Chain A
């Protein structure tokens, strides 16, 4: 892995969309928490796939079908390496993080959980890591409990032991998509294991930004989504411990996921094929591999350091310029947070704020960020969220600050 520092000018130039203008201004893209932009390297990989080796996989004995199959399995191996999995077979391709969690909820959850079993979530989860469990709860009488937050937006683990009573699964985000909070995943996984529970990590907001190692977390399932880490949309991933995946029934039935089908029934294929029913998003799998290669070439450690420096700069700049007029939700110490900045500014509604920022070419997200329970805890309906990534630099932060000042002038009353 490269230990060099990240050259943001070079990186920015890799992303064609970042060269465009919006509303007469060079675009300032601060919504990577929703989806990242894509580097030329990924876009080229998609083109090359369709132009050179497009064929359905695991089915043809001809050259390009073999090449396509190899490209998919190479991608699986590359992703296994990227997240520290011990074998490529532990990597299941899905559509996105949402599907990965639904897969676990349906397959593992409906096999192993029954009335009165407890699932422990945290109050900062994305709806993707809430609703599938609520569906299971409604269907099976499973109980959901919540780890609360402290006043700084970190998990309050004071009562963790009591909360873990009767728990079969703890599902926690490695990084909050609203507050930037970085929950102590290893500590939670250890505590879960101590009571015989499993731990699922939603790493959607982690994997794009930090080195990832499922062995260090010692978790049991881990999910993320490709489009937030420079990859295409439509491709996500589930990692699970091999013995858990082996014991799980298929999620969706259809082509590819079987060993045999007769008039009487079917025998499912081995993992991971068992969970990959139907024609896969082959180009996207290849594109995701290109994203992994791209990030690895820069180095996840270098990306982490760049974002840490930029987040420090952003928090300093915004605090110095706006003082008490501006509040940043979530932890303020940089060890406990990433570059996701949810802002409240002079009582201006986030929707109005983002509208004014848009006029300056600045893309931020306004809304509940698919975390309505968390909004309730924060006592707001919405926040304006700026999220930083490897291609952002100080000029983007300065533009945001100027945009906020303009919004303040416009709505000054």
Chain B
């Protein structure tokens, strides 16, 4: 049985308690996309300011559960300073980690070269346990799907 500690890892609770890059940015010059989890009503806004081809600033707004909030907080830290393409790469790795198809339902990676640490996701690895709680995957990916939308607006 998957226990609560599998889901609510310390790093996650830390990001929930003190979320990074919370707030808003003025649009324009920043761009913004809004995401909804239709199941639970969570809402998130992702603001990006792209300067000289890199994400110079990112802010997260909205409300949500510990999983959606901490995931968005970690995401903001992970993509800050990257190019839009670099951010898309992190996004891809993260979504891969979240996809049940790549894992047994117990959340363990199926392929051996997909060990924790190998993904370059850093803190985000803590969210791996979410896969054991399929209903919560939508929470964990809310911010990322919204990032995906806002990246589309960068036109790069």
Interface residues of A (CB under 8 A from B): 23-24, 349-352, 355-356, 359, 366-368, 372, 375, 381-382, 410-411, 413
Contacts and interface: CB of A to CB of B under 8 A. Distances in A.
Interface in B23-72: 39-43, 63-67
Contact of A359 (B3, B39, B41): B3
Nearest to A349: B65
A134 to B, nearest CB: 16
Contacts of A355: 4, 7, 133, 136
A381 B4 contact: no
A413 B136 contact: no
B17, B41, B42 — most chain A CB neighbours (10 Å): B41
B85 to A, nearest CB: 33
Given A366-B40, A367-B41, A381-B41, A351 B1 contact: no
A372 B64 CA distance: 15
22 contacts: A349-B64, A349-B66, A350-B40, A351-B40, A351-B42, A351-B66, A351-B67, A352-B66, A355-B133, A359-B3, A359-B4, A367-B40, A367-B41, A368-B41, A372-B41, A381-B40, A382-B41, A382-B42, A410-B4, A411-B13, A413-B13, A413-B17
Contacts of B139: 351
Listed from nearest, the 3 A-B pairs whose CB atoms lie closest are A368-B41, A351-B65, A349-B65
A29 to B, nearest CB: 17
Contacts of A382: 40-42
Contacts of A356: 4
A24 B1 contact: yes
Contacts of B7: 355
Interface residues of B, number: 20
Interface string B1-28: 1011001100001000100000000000
B17 A381 contact: no
Interface of B: 1, 3-4, 7-8, 13, 17, 39-43, 63-67, 133, 136, 139
B39, B40, B67 — most chain A CB neighbours (10 Å): B40
B65 A352 contact: yes
A24 B3 CA distance: 11
Contacts of A352: 8, 65-67
A359 B40 CA distance: 19
Contacts of A366: 40
A46 to B, nearest CB: 28
A230 to B, nearest CB: 26
B4 to A, nearest CB: 6
Contacts of B136: 351, 355
B36 to A, nearest CB: 10
A222 B153 CA distance: 48
A381 B43 CA distance: 8
A356 B13 CA distance: 14
Contacts of B4: 355-356, 359, 410
Contacts of A410: 4, 8
A125 to B, nearest CB: 16
A393 B40 CA distance: 28
Contact of B42 (A359, A381, A413): A381
A384 to B, nearest CB: 11
A160 to B, nearest CB: 29
A366 B65 CA distance: 10
Nearest to A381: B41
Nearest to B1: A23
Nearest to B18: A413
A359 B65 CA distance: 17
A371 B92 CA distance: 34
B39 A367 contact: yes
Contacts of A351: 40, 42, 64-67, 136, 139
A368 B4 CA distance: 24
A368 B3 contact: no
A23, A355, A368 — most chain B CB neighbours (10 Å): A355
Given A351-B66, A367-B40, A382-B41, 13 more contacts: A24-B1, A349-B66, A350-B40, A351-B42, A351-B64, A351-B136, A355-B4, A355-B133, A355-B136, A367-B41, A381-B64, A382-B42, A410-B8
B134 to A, nearest CB: 12
A273 B137 CA distance: 45
B42 to A, nearest CB: 6
Contacts of A368: 40-41
A27 B86 CA distance: 47
A126 to B, nearest CB: 14
Contacts of A375: 41
A375 B43 CA distance: 13
A382 B42 CA distance: 8
Contacts of B43: 381
A51 to B, nearest CB: 35
B139 to A, nearest CB: 7
A383 B7 CA distance: 21
Nearest to B43: A381
Nearest to B41: A368
A359 B133 CA distance: 12
Nearest to A369: B41
